[in-house]
Amino acid sequence: MRNIWVVLCRIILCLAACFACAFSVGCGGSSAANNVITTTGSNVAPISVNGGPQGNYGDAAFISVTVCVPGTSTCQTVDDVLVDTGSYGLRILSSALTVSLPQQKAADGNPVAECLTFVGSYTWGPVQTADVQLGSETASSVPIQVLSDTDYHVPDGCTSSGDPSADTLDTLGANGILGVGLFAQDCGSPCLASYNQYFECPSSGCVYIPGAGEPLDQQVVNPVALFAKDNNGVIVELPSVPSGGEPSVSGSLVFGIGTESNNTLGSAKVYSAPEAAFTTTFNSQTYPESFIDSGSNALFFPNTTDIAECGSEASGFYCPAAPVNLSATNEAGGVSGTVDFTIADADSIFNANDFAGDLGGVPIGTPTNYFDWGLPFFFGRNVFVAIDGASTSGGTGPYWAY
């Protein structure tokens, strides 16, 4: 299962590389025949690629999320929440919340918190409960994570790597993360067995939840899965971007697949992803753990074509002398298709004050067995994300379609 580390390691890389300058990225995905931006409907919420709350975060799509004390009209709308198809569940910075949400408790009455460790950083914070509204769709009593290093002492399991947290606006670059990926829960059945990322926090300190771990219905959950309708997935819809980039672009997050007249699959091909991955073949190399992730702000792939890499000011990104036109093939379950894409000079992009354009980068970690189709892939495409086990007009999730 893909989890939030996939997204956040990209964010930390980008903010660390470009913190001193306005982060202006541009990356244009190839256009597709089914790229129509839906602007009306009860199942539609607007999204925008606009630089984020600090005006320095490129190739990231943001949405406004309303959270309420469950069963009440005590609500708050949180702007600039990252739309992320690579994680599952809603996470909001404690510093961005003004409403007081009820704390989730373990079976023995102790508060529950969650730790997510990943390459280069970690997130930590209590699990609380909220009614969540996205557009006109509402999910009731949703477990969410409130990102904070101070509500409860961070356990050694989160800090042992020596990496920093991503629990502040400066380190996250957003007021929160809306995980609308392929799965409903953020940990799933592994949290009921040997793996666990949930803690209970008595006054003596936070320890892993013993025994059976965190039940599925109490794990941080993709809010879309709890909607009364339009709950089998989402569509991320963003317009094409010219090669020179744009300061901002607007699009939509559409809820449901084949549940309304405005969310049909049309001509989109379905790529099944039971393990949250498919195979990408690029430059005669095969990458079997590839994935589509709107929370990654570039196309991250191994440098097998001798593309010039950037210097220290944009370390980790590609800086070709002229835009490079490339192609790769995605395949899953006997379905395949070619993706054409362009990589431009990141140094030039960072100084152009454009927050949408052509950006590529070097993958993080080893072995390098994946191609990360980040937000540039979404420009000019309607990208469908079907939730695991959900029935849709394109079959049972999980799958991506475009």
Q: In Å, how far from its chain's centre is CA 91? A: 11
pLDDT of 272 higher than 50:
yes
Query: pLDDT for 32-47, tens place per residue?
Result: 446 789 999 999 999 9
The answer to whether 291 and 398 are in contact (CB under 8 A) is: no
More confident residue, 282 or 20: 282
Strand, helix or coil at 250? strand
Polymer length in residues for the chain: 402
Identify the helix (H) or strand (E) that includes residue 159. helix 156-159
Q: Rounded to the nearest 10 degrees, how much is the dihedral formed by the CA atoms of 356, 23, 349, 245?
A: 20
Give residue 189's pLDDT band: very low, low, confident or very high (50, 70, 90).
Answer: confident
CA distance linking residue 61 with residue 248, whole number of Å = 10
Query: pLDDT for 103-140, tens place per residue?
Result: 999 988 999 999 987 666 788 999 999 999 999 999 99
Report the largest interatomic distance among the alpha carbons of the chain, rounded to a whole angstrom. Answer: 61
User: Which long-range contacts link 305-308 to residues 24+ away (Cβ below 8 Å)?
Assistant: 307/343, 307/360
pLDDT of 306 higher than 60:
yes
Beta bridge partners of 44: 254
Range of the domain at 302: 1-402
Per the structure, the count of domains in the chain is 1
Give residue 213's pLDDT band: very low, low, confident or very high (50, 70, 90).
Answer: confident
Query: pLDDT for 309-318, tens place per residue?
Result: 999 888 889 9
More confident residue, 243 or 99: 99
CATH number of the domain within which 23 lies: 2.40.70.10
Percent pLDDT > 70 in the chain is: 89
The answer to whether 286 and 278 are in contact (CB under 8 A) is: no
Please choose, from the candidates 115, 252, 122, the residue with its C-alpha nearest in 3D space to the C-alpha of residue 187.
Answer: 115
Please choose, from the candidates 266, 261, 262, the residue with its C-alpha nearest in 3D space to the C-alpha of residue 253.
Answer: 262
CA distance linking residue 212 with residue 376, whole number of Å = 40
Single-letter amino acid code for the residue at 394: G
Please choose, from the candidates 79, 385, 356, 360, the residue with its C-alpha nearest in 3D space to the C-alpha of residue 239.
Answer: 356
pLDDT of 25 higher than 70:
no
